[in-house]
């Protein structure tokens, strides 16, 4: 009886710590293919071409409030991390500047006879070996002329591509202060999934680790920044018991969780000293 009581107390303590230490952000994992490039000055060093795969995450707080006065237009604006866009194209990373977040999620329901969704990041970090671009944009826009994709301007947690018109265009643009060097990349997104990122409030690595899908039933993928390659990971249950451990072999590592009972687990990445990521196994 005493042992059972201690076990229940440990579960309550763990849940309390989870509420006080971990914060949740809602993210969309996207994957697509580059369909168009305008780079006459070769700012991209010919490193990105049509047909390259593009993947990454769009992260936003679902509790954000609308600050647009029009009833058919909602503007959800973000000025702090981890909100923003983070994408990779052929090893090049384009992402919202974590030190200067200026990110918009706009939802338009039947305005000017269209439905629209727009994610746009106005202040971004581009690869260091590219020219210094003073004007940068990363955006993803979805359109529907039938006005059936949306029936309100609430913040959208899930996105069904089949409800929207093709192309599902995501674009990256940059230009220098004199505008003598610029580029534009357009791509067609063909896959969207939801990702829940849980992390310590003070951890510097939380923007660079994604776990998906979440919830999961059989396999998960751990997507990390290159500097975390080779790090170990530990999977624990709610009682703090280690149920699995392994090593991140690349930027994306698959983990088979089919043998685990349904429940809530935590994934700890060794080099991210204070981070843990909450995973739900169905």
Which helix (H) or strand (E) segment is 7 a member of?
helix 2-21
**Residue 77 pLDDT > 70:** yes
Structure tokens at 75: 């503007």
Contact between 56 and 87 under an 8 Å Cβ cutoff? The reply is yes
Q: Report the range of poorest mean pLDDT among 33-47, 206-220, 227-241.
A: 206-220
Strand residue runs (E) in 8-113: 22-38, 53-60, 73-78, 84-89, 92-96, 103-111
Alpha carbons 41 and 20: distance in angstroms, whole number? 50
Q: Which helix (H) or strand (E) holds 185?
A: strand 182-200
pLDDT of residue 14: 46
Choose from 66-80, 194-208, 238-252 the range with maximum mean pLDDT: 66-80
> How sure is the predictor about 1, in pLDDT bands with cuts at 50, 70 and 90?
low
Q: What is the domain partition of the chain in residue ranges?
A: 23-197, 202-282
pLDDT at 224: 82
Return the pLDDT at 94: 96
Per-residue pLDDT tens over the stretch 225-265: 788 889 999 998 877 789 999 999 988 899 999 999 988 88
pLDDT of 19 reads: 40
Measured distance CA(79)–CA(76) in Å, rounded: 10
Q: Looking at the DSSP assignment, which residues form a beta bridge with residue 187?
A: 34, 170
Would the pLDDT of 18 be above 50?
no
Q: What is the distance, to the nearest Å, from the Cα of residue 153 to the centroid of all Cα atoms in its chain? A: 21
What's the CATH architecture for 202-282?
Answer: Sandwich (2.60)
User: What is the per-residue pLDDT for 204?
Assistant: 40
- The average pLDDT across 219-224 equals 87
Residue 281, pLDDT > 80, answer yes
Q: How many helices (H) and strands (E) does the chain have?
A: 1, 18
CA atoms within 13 A on the CB side of 94: 26
In order, the DSSP letters of 209-220 are EEEESSSBSSEE
Phi and psi at residue 49, to the nearest 5°: -130, 165
* Percent helix, strand and coil across the chain, each to the nearest 5: 10, 50, 40
DSSP 65: -
Q: At 12, is the secondary structure helix, strand, or coil? A: helix
Q: Who's near 70: CB < 8 A, 6+ residues apart?
A: 111
DSSP 8-state secondary structure symbol assigned to residue 261: P
Higher pLDDT, 213 or 69: 69
Confidence band, pLDDT 50/70/90 cuts, at residue 3? low
């Amino acid at each position: 009886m005493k042992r059972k009581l201690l076990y229940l107390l440990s579960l309550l303590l763990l849940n309390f710590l989870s509420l006080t230490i971990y914060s949740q952000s809602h993210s969309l994992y996207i994957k697509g293919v580059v369909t168009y490039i305008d780079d006459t000055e070769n700012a991209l060093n010919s490193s990105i071409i049509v047909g390259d795969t593009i993947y990454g995450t769009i992260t936003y707080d679902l509790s954000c409030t609308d600050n647009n006065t029009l009833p058919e237009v909602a503007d959800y604006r973000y000025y702090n991390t981890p909100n923003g866009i983070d994408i990779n194209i052929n090893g090049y990373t384009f992402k919202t500047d974590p030190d200067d977040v200026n990110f918009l999620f706009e939802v338009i329901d039947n305005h000017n006879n269209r439905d629209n969704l727009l994610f746009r990041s106005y202040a971004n970090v581009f690869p260091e070996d590219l020219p210094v671009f003073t004007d940068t944009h990363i955006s993803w826009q979805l359109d529907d002329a039938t006005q059936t994709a949306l029936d309100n301007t609430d913040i959208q947690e899930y996105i069904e591509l089949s409800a929207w018109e093709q192309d599902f265009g995501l674009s990256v643009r940059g230009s220098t202060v004199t505008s003598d060097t610029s580029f534009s990349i357009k791509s067609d997104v063909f896959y969207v999934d939801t990702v829940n990122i849980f992390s310590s409030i003070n951890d510097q690595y939380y923007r660079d680790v994604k776990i998906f899908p979440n919830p999961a039933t059989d396999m998960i993928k751990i997507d990390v920044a290159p500097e975390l390659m080779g790090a170990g990971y530990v999977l624990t249950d709610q009682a703090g018991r280690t149920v699995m451990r392994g090593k991140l072999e690349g930027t994306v590592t698959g983990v088979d969780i089919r043998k685990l009972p349904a429940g809530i687990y935590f994934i700890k990445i060794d080099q991210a000293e204070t981070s843990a990521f909450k995973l739900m196994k169905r």
